[in-house]
């Protein structure tokens, strides 16, 4: 079941006795846990009927005893077990999960991994609990997810602003969400987040960033690329080489793939390489400027300079100098 479906059911006052939230993506787990903690019970009831445990410090017997209590002056109680992956003897909860109390809502947060599917606990959860299993979102899904999240709040966001934000945050939904909230607080009467807002409220330059460097290399614009790298040298936190190299590798890996796709249909190409259609023109421009061997050369250079950036086959050259040398070889 999805996080949205669980929360939608709760908003309709439709509850099950046990919810198990697991997996690699904290954002959706935290979203459900936050609702359970602050929205299921009215404030007047939460003082008596909300109990929170943390896996590292919780004893399984205490959790079960809390779950078996009856609510005070209310229809139901909520028991939250956070960070359950750190709890010793968590399998001891099996006895309660097999026969839960109808007036208790137990919500368990089991982050960063999944319970062993071969275990008795896993089989019991599939039978008795509502389960949310999360995975890290694929990078090609991040722009669409970001657009939809902004629109759900009644705003819009430009395509370039989306890319600036994703390049800054990486595949971290919680961080993307927090940065968007920060922007919306300061947006005033505007209804569209533009790249200028990313620059002003998050501190990412709209002209000097990894996205613009990528575009400059794609267009074989050496002067612009070197100007951006010069900005990186003066502002080391803006785009450390450990952020730049993987971003460029991801971009040119997809450019390399384009040369193996027989069709020239933009929508088909975008789908084949896993990017939103509205970003495909940058990839097609790079594919025109770098043939198969040219794209291959860039990928080899990126691998070589990644090794140099961590001190392999290099005597300590500054990051900006490495980038300048690499980009010059790419474009020339």
Which of 24-28, 198-202, 273-277: highest mean pLDDT?
24-28
Domain boundaries, position 25:
3-134
pLDDT score recorded for residue 21: 97
Confidence of residue 314 (pLDDT cuts 50, 70, 90): confident
Confidence of residue 317 (pLDDT cuts 50, 70, 90): confident
**Per-residue pLDDT for 71 more than 90?**
yes
Find out whether 84 and 114 touch, Cβ atoms under 8 Å. no
**232 lies in the same domain as 313:** yes
**184 lies in the same domain as 116:** no
Cα(190)–Cα(253) distance, rounded to whole angstroms? 37
Lookup: tokens for 277: 């259609």
pLDDT score recorded for residue 194: 93
The whole-model pTM stands at 0.78
What value does the mean pLDDT of the chain take?
92
In percent, the amount of the chain with pLDDT more than 90 equals: 74
pLDDT score recorded for residue 168: 81
Task: Give the domain CATH number at 35.
Answer: 3.40.50.300
**130 lies in the same domain as 169:** no
Which of 202, 229, 257 is where one domain is finished?
A: 202
pLDDT digits (tens, 9 = 90+) for 132-169: 999 998 888 888 899 999 999 999 999 889 988 888 88
pLDDT score recorded for residue 57: 92
Which of 134, 152, 169 is where one domain is finished?
A: 134
Cα(277)–Cα(271) distance, rounded to whole angstroms? 8
In sequence order, what DSSP letters do the residues of 110-170 get, joined into one string? EESS---TTSHHHHHHHHHSEEEEE-PPPGGGHHHHHHHHHHHTT-EE-HHHHHHHHHHH-
Confidence of residue 311 (pLDDT cuts 50, 70, 90): confident
pLDDT digits (tens, 9 = 90+) for 231-265: 999 988 888 898 899 989 999 999 999 999 999 89
Q: How far is CA 16 from CA 72, 129, 176, 208, 227, in A?
A: 19, 8, 31, 51, 58
**Per-residue pLDDT for 78 more than 90?**
yes
**130 lies in the same domain as 10:** yes
251 Cβ contact list (under 8 Å, min separation 6): 214, 218, 282, 283, 286
Residue in the block written with tokens 């595949």: 171
Task: Give the domain CATH number at 175.
Answer: 1.10.8.60
């Amino acid at each position: 079941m999805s996080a949205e479906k669980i929360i939608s059911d709760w908003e309709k006052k439709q509850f099950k006795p046990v919810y198990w939230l697991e997996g690699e993506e904290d954002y959706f787990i935290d979203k459900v846990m936050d609702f359970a903690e602050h929205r299921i019970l009215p404030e007047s009831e939460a003082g008596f009927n909300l109990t929170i445990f943390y896996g590292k410090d919780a004893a399984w017997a205490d959790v079960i005893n809390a779950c078996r209590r009856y609510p005070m002056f209310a229809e139901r109680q909520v028991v939250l077990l956070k960070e359950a992956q750190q709890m010793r003897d968590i399998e001891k909860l099996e006895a309660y999960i097999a026969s839960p109390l109808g007036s208790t809502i137990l919500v368990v947060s089991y982050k960063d991994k999944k319970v062993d599917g071969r275990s008795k606990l896993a089989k019991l959860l599939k039978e008795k609990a509502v389960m949310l299993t999360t995975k890290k979102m694929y990078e090609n899904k991040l722009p669409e997810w970001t657009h939809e999240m902004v629109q759900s709040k009644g705003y819009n966001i430009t395509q370039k602003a989306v890319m600036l934000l994703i390049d800054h945050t990486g595949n971290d939904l919680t961080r993307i969400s927090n940065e968007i909230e920060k922007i919306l607080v300061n947006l005033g009467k505007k209804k569209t987040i533009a790249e200028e807002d990313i620059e002003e409220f998050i501190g990412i330059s709209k002209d000097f960033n990894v996205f613009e460097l990528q575009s400059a290399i794609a267009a074989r614009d050496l002067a612009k690329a070197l100007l951006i790298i010069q900005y990186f040298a003066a502002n080391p936190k803006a785009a450390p080489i450990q952020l730049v190299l993987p971003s460029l590798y991801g971009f040119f890996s997809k450019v390399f793939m384009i040369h193996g796709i027989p069709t020239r249909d933009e929508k088909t190409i975008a789908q084949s390489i896993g990017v939103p259609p509205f970003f495909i023109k940058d990839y097609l421009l790079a594919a025109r400027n770098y043939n198969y061997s040219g794209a291959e050369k860039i990928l080899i250079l990126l691998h070589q300079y990644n090794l140099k950036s961590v001190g392999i086959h290099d005597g300590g050259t500054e990051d900006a100098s490495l980038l300048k040398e690499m980009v010059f070889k790419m474009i020339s």
